[in-house]
Amino acid sequence: MDARRVAAPALIAVLDYGIGNLRSAEKALQRVGADARLVSSPDGATGASGVVLPGVGAFGASSRALRASGLDAVARAALASGVPFLGVCVGFQLLFEGSEESPADPGLGELGGVVRRLRGDVKLPQMQWNRTSPVPGTPGAMLEGEDWFYYVHSYAPVPEGADRSCVVATCDYGGEVVAAVERARCWGTQFHPEKSGHAGLALLGRFVATCDGTTRLG
């Protein structure tokens, strides 16, 4: 009898705060081997070795819904303790201090800077596949070179201070747009990996690989 034990897949909490179709993020993570589960209360995230914060729509509505659900505490706990964290689209924007779209509604403040409306003579929202390019000289685990990802947004973060160095990828849409940031185990993407085919699944697989269980939510 083979006594070797197969490691259990990483438990990843997908924060369900009532904004958008979160099921697609859950299913994409499951497809790359994670034990991904939608959680709608802080207790549901206990023991998770990774946290994903998706989001679509308006920054203000998302910020208010996250706080009302109590899941902002889960996000803050993961970020403070080094549990791998991935913010997607508006979930990425919520990592910043705020947005000019909804000045009265705060973000999580994990990253310095404000989310601003896209500039230039371009159609809004950007709703398309766009070539996404790594920033030279910024090593990280998220990206493995230039690729195409799917975007749906009219706003994007503009990191400030030391957090400008966390930008690991950009795209061009009326000018340079921040596409992704990576700071230690905190990742964020303005594009939707779960809607980006093979490239998106590969990125999610790399995120899941960082969720090794050495740090879990209490």
Q: Which residues are catalytic?
A: 89, 192, 194
C-alpha–C-alpha distance, residues 87 and 107, integer Å: 12
C-alpha–C-alpha distance, residues 50 and 208, integer Å: 8
Helices 71-81 and 59-69 pack at an angle, to 10 degrees, of: 90
Residue identified by tokens 């050495």 is 214
Structure tokens at 186: 């905190």
Residue 24 half-sphere exposure toward CB, CA atoms < 13 A: 15
**Residue 209 burial (C-beta neighbours within 10 Å; 0-12, 13-18, 19+):** middle
Structure tokens at 191: 């594009």
C-alpha–C-alpha distance, residues 89 and 53, integer Å: 9
